Structure 1
Amino acid sequence: MTEVARAGTGGAMTTSDRVDDELPCIWVLAGVLSYRPCDRNYECEDCELYHALQGGHGGEGGMDRDAVRARAHGAPVDPRPGDTVNAFLSRLATGCTLHLDRPHSPGHLWLQSVADDTIRVGLDDHARRVLEPIDEVVLPRTGVWLTRGEPCGWIVRRRLSIPLTDPIAGEVLDVNPRIEAWRSGPSPNDDWLFTLRPHEHPDQVGDLYRGEHAVRWYLGQIQLLKRHLEAVVSVPQAASVGPTMEDGGLPTPDLEQVLGRERYRGLVSEMFRTHI
């Protein structure tokens, strides 16, 4: 039985305190539901709950969560392609947070007002998981004026440098002093990149996702990842095991090893709307 938490208030929560080997419902990631596992492999178009929360109707569907649960713990199970994909999705989605109290850019950066004239800019959890392991985060210097649509930093991992596109014009006031800790993953409430004094109001920036639009966009990003994983489901699972996360012990897959260099570059280019 599901439990509604802060529905419609724009709150956010993680799933790290729940069963770590289940796929969390997209509405749990959004903070609308406090707990509900996804039993439809993120095929939300067939989910009655998904459509009910948007005022629509859904159909029937389902997946074998027992197999996903076993594979997420490394147990030997019948290697059906869907189960392997679901195991990767579970590792990447569990513990992530989609903040509905702030707008999100197509480049996976969020904006949070921390004062009347100050905005904090951060990278969403889903994108960070896709980019791990992170070797370096390059950020602008204090005092630099940023232009919307231009690079405002880079994430460096292995031989790739992924540009971060600035979602709002403004002057950089401060950068996260603990950004080096991102090599092992940011701590809760420490997932921001820099603060700035905006030269434009966020409400006047049209290319941002808010509320239910952010949920639909986020779901599209998960389905994009799923399509790339489905194309390489024959990859042995041993290649997916990476460092252990501190928030529950689940191994984080290195997606470049799983997808291969070229497909991984293609995924990141699609996610960040750039060419690398």
Structure 2
Amino acid sequence: MNLTSLAFIVLLFATACGKKEVIPANKNESPDPPVVIVNTDTILNVTYESGQLNSGISGVRATVAPGADAAYLINGKNSKHGIAHKVTLGNPDYYSAEAYRSESDALENQASLFFPGMERRYEFSVYLKDWEQWNIANTPYGDNIFQLKVSGGDPVPVRLLTKRNAIVARYDASGNGTVISDFRPQINKWIDFRIDVKWTLDNTGYFKIYTRYSDEENYTLRLENLNARTFTGTQLANGQKGYIKWGVYREAGKDINGNVIINDNVLSRVAYHDNIRIIKLPTQF
């Protein structure tokens, strides 16, 4: 046997030994296809690990409230950084866009915008910092902590807010439902939220809202709205777009002259947010 033939035999033997045989559970079945991981499924990932209030992402805005502490960095959820938003009723430092609010948004981040026909997953973590309990003697207008909005003033498609001692969802012009019936045991703890949405202009859309508490491994479905029109915008021809907001937006009453009525027992609210993600559905991993 010459040296060339011997080298060929050695190569065949090494190749055969290096293969891993895949044996179906049933001989009539084919092996499972390989799992395909598509990194581009994540459209937006705001972690604040850059140490910047916009997480170093173009088109993400921390707040438009003028107060020096309307938005600031904090220790995140199992990470170095997250963001805090603070609002004090009656204080102009926390008044912007005709309301007492301090909210981040991704209005100018083109990739994260949503339009009819898209299917998306929105995730975020929130920490209700020293959240004082509702006082029954005062009107509970509510404090928004996350919004899926459309530009142009149409009804908000989906928003989450605290109302009395619950976290509720408001959607479209009059839809509402309870997500967490009593959030008080979760004060000063991180809560993970997940919202899956199919954006439509007809009744083929849906949204599903999930939560996961700090001592839980899996998400729990809390509220869903199926066979629904989810994109509430009516001005698409004029450049209308859907976008996300997170922070604190304090709803308040107004008198007949349009002046804000301050009658909440809690003047200041602070909420932390972290790990704001947008994922393209259906996921491919």
TM-score, structure 2 as length reference: 0.30
Q: Between Structure 1 and Structure 2, whose CA radius of gyration is higher?
A: 2
Structure with more of its chain in strand, by fraction: 2
Greater RCO (Cα-Cα under 8 Å, separation 6 or more): 2
TM-score, structure 1 as length reference: 0.31
Structure with more of its chain in helix, by fraction: 1
